[in-house]
Amino acid sequence: MAATESGAAGTVLDAREELRSASLSRLHWSLIVSIMAATIFDGYDTLNPSYVIHYVVKPWGLTHSETGFLVSSGLIGFAVGALVHGPIADRYGRRPVLLGALAGAGVFSVLTATLADSFTGFIVLRGVTGLGLGVIMPLGTAYINEFTPAGSGNRMGTLAISGYAFGGVLASAAGIWLTPGHGWQVLYWLGGLSIPLALVLWFTLPESVQYLVMRGRHGEAATILGRARPDRTYTGMRFTQPRDRARTTEIAAILLSARYRPTTIALWACAFLVLFDIYGLSGWMPTLMEARGNGFGTSFSFGALLQIGGVAGGLSIALLDDRGLTNMRRGLVYLLTLATIAVALIAAINGTAVDIVLVVVAGFGIVGGQFVLNGLCAQSYPTHVRSTGTGAMFGVGRVGAILGPYMGGWLLGWFHDNNNVLFIAVAVAAAIGALIALTLNRRPSVLTTPMTADSLT
């Protein structure tokens, strides 16, 4: 049943359909900016340990493996946060969980700046910080995919979570311009700015409409829908209950049911490989490029180039999908294939100009592939398990993220600082990811087929 401009009191509507059929409004743009701002801190804090390495390796007497773990330590917390937040957000609301995680990450970022004066202290504080940061990307992805209209969902969702890449660019800029004069600690003082951001978003970010409907809070849901669709009035209306709240065991059973199992496993495997590549490259990029003969500023800038290429890659595929020229599955295959070629060429060719071009192309494929994978995952599950499904993919993927920097250090030590071995490992992982992406559904069936009890078995 479609809503009318005035609406009749007591009318029962499907809130999901109302959101999907909306046109872009001021609320949508506000949500995009809000999620982008939150994911900026995710990307910034995740990638800034790469710029700490230069300052602490010798004072702390670190081996290659320990240096890799310096980057990986925060990602352990990320993996835990991504895995456990889903059921909490599905039960208690996406808004308080997202903002609580953002503020908590800021607090521990400041503590890292003030207390981390040794290898052990640094990795412990990074691990705790990661518990909060691991929530932001999966929850932000699920959040924005609920609100954005069907006709522009892919590019708007990708734009919102592209804040992650811009955060990586900011980490690179801070590493280049601020750390020489203020030490590596300045990176974490800046991370504390997520605390005032969380306070601002508390007054601007609405709760999930589906969460409100599932708890019978129809008046609040109607108010938010009225902001999303200002041309319509929802006063006094009630909304279709999508289904009862799911228990954690039930959510896990849905993700691994016969209907969703192939998609779930493929998404997990792709996330593992893509995040292995992103963090393996990002964590070691400044060090590797400095070893190839580039100066301090140039070496630190390669991390930014990787992320800038990723924004272009993710938005390009999202735009093509929204216009019906490709789909997200094929786009993921294209991007990872392109990344395989680019990273293999980095290993084969050494030259600053060539490296710059190839790193941008590698970011276009690998980081862009992660943006596409995020949207594809959020679209692959029903709304009531979307946070958990996305979080589970990120949780498994974070294992790859943890291993990327650590295995990179191990390989560099094993092959006596031959940095080509890390590029080859990244290229192989990207190639395998492209092959696995071929097995994903062309279009997630959840978008077109109603879910019944029989379909889950």
Convert the pLDDT of each residue in 182-208 to its tens digit.
Answer: 999 999 999 999 999 999 999 989 998
- H helices present in 21-93, as ranges: 26-47, 53-56, 64-92
pLDDT band at 82; cut points 50, 70, 90: confident
Per-residue pLDDT at 297: 85
Tell me which of 409 and 384 has the higher pLDDT: 409
Say whether pLDDT at 5 is over 80.
no
* Residue burial 72-111, b: 16+ Cβ < 10 Å; e: rest: bbbbbbbbbbbbbbbbbbbbeebbebbbbbbbbbbbbbbb
Mean pLDDT along residues 25-31: 91
Q: Of the ranges 141-150, 227-236, 246-255, 427-436, which one carries the lowest mean pLDDT score?
A: 246-255
Phi, psi of 37 (to 5 degrees): -60, -40
Q: Estimate the share of the chain in helix, then strand, then coil, as percent rounded to the nearest 5.
A: 75, 0, 20
Say whether pLDDT at 110 is over 90.
yes
Say whether pLDDT at 447 is over 60.
no
Question: Between the ranges 68-77, 175-184, 436-445, where is the mean pLDDT highest?
Answer: 175-184
For 264-307, write each residue's pLDDT tens digit.
999 999 999 999 999 899 888 888 888 888 888 888 899 899 99
Angle of CA points 445, 253, 399, to nearest 5°: 90
Mean pLDDT along residues 433-455: 59
Say whether pLDDT at 446 is over 70.
no
Per-residue pLDDT at 309: 94
Nearest by Cα to 428 from 374, 366, 375, 384? 366
With beta carbons less than 8 A apart as the criterion, state whether 246 and 253 touch.
Answer: no
Say whether pLDDT at 10 is over 80.
no
User: pLDDT > 70: what percent of the chain?
Assistant: 91
Per-residue pLDDT at 436: 96
Per-residue pLDDT at 378: 75
Tell me which of 41 and 74 has the higher pLDDT: 41
Per-residue pLDDT at 355: 92
For 379-389, write each residue's pLDDT tens digit.
788 766 776 78
Distance in angstroms (rounded) separating the CA atoms of residues 162 and 140? 11
Phi, psi of 12 (to 5 degrees): -105, 120
Given this structure, which CATH class describes domain 12-456?
mainly alpha
Per-residue pLDDT at 196: 97
CA distances to 57, 261, 294, 388 from 299, in Å: 17, 42, 6, 38
pTM: 0.77
Mean pLDDT along residues 245-254: 69
Per the listing, tokens 């969380």 go with 198
Tell me which of 4 and 416 has the higher pLDDT: 416
User: pLDDT > 90: what percent of the chain?
Assistant: 42
CA torsion through residues 305, 311, 316, 317, sign: positive
What value does the mean pLDDT of the chain take? 85
CA distances to 33, 199, 206, 227, 373 from 26, in Å: 11, 21, 13, 8, 27
Mean pLDDT along residues 139-168: 81
